[in-house]
Structure 1
Amino acid sequence: MFAGGTARLLVRNDGEAPLELTVEPWADTYQILPGQTCVVVTHSPTGDGSWSGTLRGDEPFQVDHRRDSVTVWANGNCFHLSDLAGNAIDAVDWQCSAQGPDS
């Protein structure tokens, strides 16, 4: 059983063109189609559920947005993407010890 914290971030494309989503520090890139929402899920690398943060301490995500793209820095030890119903968008296994039906 996973003892750390889990954080979810919804990223929605309200535009009329595909939006590039990059998840760092893994440099994985995905396309979010117009009207589509992705859920970026990350898990705390520590047992107490705290986060390392990027610009501020104890923050699970940092988001950088540009006109045609968005970069999400996931401050956990792994990440995975799903849709709003919880269906996996990418089946890549980053050896995420917490990944499972409730992740």
Structure 2
Amino acid sequence: MFAGGTARLVLSNGGEAPLELTVEPWADLYRIPPKQSCVVVTHSPAADGSWSGTLRVDEPFQVDHRSDSVTVWANGDCFHLSDADGDVIDAADRHCPARNPAS
């Protein structure tokens, strides 16, 4: 059983063009199609579920948005992506302790 914390961030593209998504610090690049959403899931390795934070301590994400792109800094040990229905988008092995987006 995974003893750390899990955080989810829903990103929606309400525009007419694909939205570029970069997940840092891995520099992984994705596209969110128009009128669709995805969920970034990250896991904290700390037993108490705390996060290292980027600008502030104990925050699982930092988001930087521009007109045609968004960068998400995931402050866990790993990340994976799912769609709004929970279906995996990125099935790459990130050594995540919990691969199920709903967990």
TM-score w.r.t. length of structure 1: 0.96
State the match for 1:74 in structure 2: 74
- Unaligned 5+ residue runs, structure 1? none
Deviations 1:28-51 (A, max 9, x none): 000000011000000012111000
Q: Distance in 1 between matches of 2:84 and 2:67?
A: 24
Per-residue deviation at 1:100? 3.1
TM-score w.r.t. length of structure 2: 0.96
Q: Distance in 2 between matches of 1:37 and 1:101?
A: 14
Q: Distance in 1 between matches of 2:10 and 2:23?
A: 13
State the match for 2:37 in structure 1: 37
Aligned pair count reads: 103
- Unaligned 5+ residue runs, structure 2? none
CA RMSD of aligned residues (A): 1.0
